[in-house]
Structure 1
Amino acid sequence: MDDDSSWRFRKQLLLVDENLMAEEVAALKFLCTDLLPFGRLENVKSALDIFQLLMAEDYLNEEDNFILAELLYRINCHSLLRKLGYSKEKVQECLPEKGRVSLYRQMLYELSENITSEMLKEAVFLLQKRLPKQQSALELMILLEKQGLVTDSNVQVLEELCVNVSPDLLEIVNCYKQAKVSLPQQENTLPIKESSLSHTGDVRVLANSQVTSFQSLSSNINDNKAANLTQGFSEMHLELPGGLNNAKNESKSMTSYKMDGPHRGFCLVINNVEFDGSLPERKGSCKDAGELERVFTWLGLDVRIYKNKTSREIKELLESWQHFPGHKDRDCFVCCILSHGESGAIYGKDEVLVSIRTIMSHFTAKQCPQLAEKPKLFFIQACQGKEIQQPVPIEADAHVPNVPSTPQSVSPSESIPEEADFLLGMATVDGFVSFRHIQQGAWYIQALCSKLELLVPRGEDILSILTEVNEDVSRRVDRLGTKKQMPQPAYTLRRKVIFPIPKEPPPSQQHRGF
């Protein structure tokens, strides 16, 4: 029995190791700096090496694998949590009591995640007399520590860098300093192993119910990746001193993506209305496509509409846009797909499924460098579940018999590439149908266009707008009062997406002659 348990445990570790890339292993190594002997950690070459060290120090074993769950959570590998028997929500719940990554280490890692390539170039230039050339922001943090320029009690160099490179980043450092000052009066200290001392001299203290969330304090960088893919500071709950409550409120002014370039960006609308086999015509979808074209043109994007594309044509189309050099001068990218669908996929005109993850993966920083660090927004109007009886005039974007289904359910968060700067707006939650009026268009698309027109002029960001869309659609009901729908956004955005307020009135007002 014990052998079976040990075998399952080591198999879990092997599966996690096989799914981690070199950059993620480097991040794990960095986050473990205050937990493991530095000399041994320097020789780490793989995730398995890290796991062995954690087991040797009794942080990781068959009975308790939470340290690994915490590490995966912090580096944004939430899809791997299931292999350990955890969910993102469960990790968040356990962090106040069981979290082990030091506040200092979290702060440094959070900074490295939010330093763009341009910021890194400036930082290297400012520090070139002190540091050798390095290739990543994480390496910059490591070198600063090795040179003794940054410690848990001295972050002055980081402050000076932030002021000169990006003042917005200064808030992460300030949040760390504030929490560090307030912890000693309120902490419940747990025993610390000798090996918990790093070369920086940082001792990690755990506070149970009285520790606060760095993630909420630094919401200017990662306000709520938890609505999809939360990463960042320790989940803690601290009654802040009066001055810090003000700092917490001020920190809510999250930085926004750059939206002041010569061109806003491109918006693709793939509108599949007619199909080659048994899938029914999607009446009313052309109204949705027209509304999307009007609204996104009003927002400053160059809209391109493609109608009735096969699965192969969709892939070829995305590949051509993936390599389009004009993205370089654009602020963002938007792609709207209107079609029938299944869990985690949409149908081409030929009734062959195309994975949503495949669609989005064309535009990762690696595949499309021109869009690196720019927001990429995808809106999918399609069912994500089984066919239901279709009342008139409401139709469901569902599949029909004799059309193959996807082999397994895929949630929206799993559809997003595990890279930053993506947003996926789904018309419905996984497993359920979405509805479309045969004359007025889809509930989701119509609500999306309406809320964009209403809330962009008020300066609202896209996530706030999608929350309003959720409210709108959730209140709608078919004429029999029996059909409901709930949209679902998922994202890895690092900043707020706020479209500049257009000079022209919204399209709906233009049509009325206002």
Structure 2
Amino acid sequence: MCTLHRTCLLRRLQNGRSKEQRLIVEQLDTQKPVKTSVQESGAFLPQHIPEQRYKMQSKPLGICLIIDCIGNDTGILRDTFTSLGYEVQSFLYLSVDDIRQNLKKVACMPQHQDYDSFVCVLVSRGDSQSVFGVDPTHSGFPLDQIRRMFMADSCPSLLGKPKLFFIQNYVVSESQLEDSSVLEVDGPVVNHVESRARPPEPCTLHREADFLWSLCRANVSLLERPTSSPSVYLQCLSQKLWQERRRPILELHIDLHRYVYDWNSTVSAKERYSVCLQHTLRKKLIFFCK
């Protein structure tokens, strides 16, 4: 549109309008179009952010604590985590008090400050919230207190480092518990650990950060057969870590879920496994990063 034609059109629009309306039209007419080149607009797009991974380079990678109160899986677990580069400490057939003491001892180890991660594998009878060890009575050590021992305020040397727990719990039914009182250990033991290992400065991460908590439950009747078999869950976990250690741990766990699901579809209800994963990992975790 030519300048003369545009001016005439604006004057016509202004006729019959109020002063305020004419002012708006004049302001719109004086605005100049903004020129934006493709190159300039692209400069404000988010730049590529490198994917964050946990550092997994220390030698050893960390302590792997194996507590097997059943005795079917220690061998393959020890071989698996040794091959991944962990210093494996394994214990068989522990009582609840021994489980507590070993966890307490490992949580206080100063070596954690030089290592990049920590692994705990626990295999035991138990109920929905506790493990029993080999005690003749069903006295339980709460699972949530096991995790609490390795939180940042209790174990500051593992602050910001991945802490991985793989637990196979063979659950005793309520009817089997009726004749035994369930004694749960609470506050004092954990508080004792916390009082000895306060972080030297304010913690910038949440105390529950960097955990992977993989809990598998199965019926205790699986252990009452003439020939007790290894845990399907732990056997699959070991196989995945052996063969696919270059993949992120969360991807491996998805495959583990799929394998257990397929297994459950071929067996009776009492032979099934139930796997629950909770995690607060902030970065990608790969055991073998070379």
Q: 1:381 aligns with which of 150, 168, 177?
A: 168
Calculate the TM-score normalised by the size of structure 2: 0.67
Say which SS state the counterpart of residue 335 (structure 1) adopts. strand
Corresponding position of 2:238: 449
Superposed displacement of residue 436, structure 1 = 4.8
Are the equivalent residues in 1 in contact too, given 2:152–2:207 (CA < 8 A)? no
Quick one: which amino acid aligns to residue 381 of structure 1? Q
Corresponding position of 1:472: 259
2:284 matched to 1:499?
A: no
CA 247–448 in structure 1, closer or farther in 2 if over 3 Å, else same? farther
2:181 matched to 1:404?
A: yes
Superposed displacement of residue 368, structure 1 = 1.1
Q: 1:366 aligns with which of 134, 150, 153?
A: 153
2:281 matched to 1:484?
A: no
Corresponding position of 2:59: 262
Superposed displacement of residue 367, structure 1 = 1.1
Higher strand share: 2
2:104 matched to 1:324?
A: no
> For residues 111-167 of structure 1, what are the alpha-carbon distances to aligned partners after superposition, in whole Å with 9 as ceiling and x for unaligned?
xxxxxxxxxxxxxxxxxxxxxxxxxxxxxxxxxxxxxxxxxxxxxxxxxxxxxxxxx
Say which SS state the counterpart of residue 256 (structure 1) adopts. coil
Q: How does 1:219-230 map to 2 (within 5 A)?
A: none
Higher helix share: 1
> For residues 434-479 of structure 1, what are the alpha-carbon distances to aligned partners after superposition, in whole Å with 9 as ceiling and x for unaligned?
78574540111111111111211xx211111111111111111487
Q: 2:97 aligns with which of 304, 312, 333?
A: 312
Quick one: which amino acid aligns to residue 209 of structure 2? A
Are the equivalent residues in 2 in contact too, given 1:436–1:443 (CA < 8 A)? no
Q: How many residues get paired?
A: 220
> For residues 241-270 of structure 1, what are the alpha-carbon distances to aligned partners after superposition, in whole Å with 9 as ceiling and x for unaligned?
xx9xx979x76x641111112321111111
Superposed displacement of residue 341, structure 1 = 1.4
Superposed displacement of residue 324, structure 1 = 0.8
- Give the Cα separation in 2 of the matches to 1:354 and 1:423: 20
Q: 2:85 aligns with which of 296, 300, 306?
A: 300
Quick one: which amino acid aligns to residue 495 of structure 1? K
Calculate the TM-score normalised by the size of structure 1: 0.39
- Give the Cα separation in 2 of the matches to 1:474 and 1:382: 17
Say which SS state the counterpart of residue 339 (structure 1) adopts. strand
2:214 matched to 1:425?
A: yes
Structure 1 gaps, min length 5: 1-242, 274-285, 389-398, 408-416, 503-514
Q: How does 1:70-81 map to 2 (within 5 A)?
A: none
Quick one: which amino acid aligns to residue 61 of structure 2? R
> For residues 385-419 of structure 1, what are the alpha-carbon distances to aligned partners after superposition, in whole Å with 9 as ceiling and x for unaligned?
7369xxxxxxxxxx555233589xxxxxxxxx961
- Give the Cα separation in 2 of the matches to 1:489 and 1:386: 22
Say which SS state the counterpart of residue 382 (structure 1) adopts. strand
Superposed displacement of residue 312, structure 1 = 1.4
Are the equivalent residues in 1 in contact too, given 2:125–2:172 (CA < 8 A)? no
CA 369–401 in structure 1, closer or farther in 2 if over 3 Å, else same? same
- Give the Cα separation in 2 of the matches to 1:359 and 1:495: 23
CA 436–384 in structure 1, closer or farther in 2 if over 3 Å, else same? closer
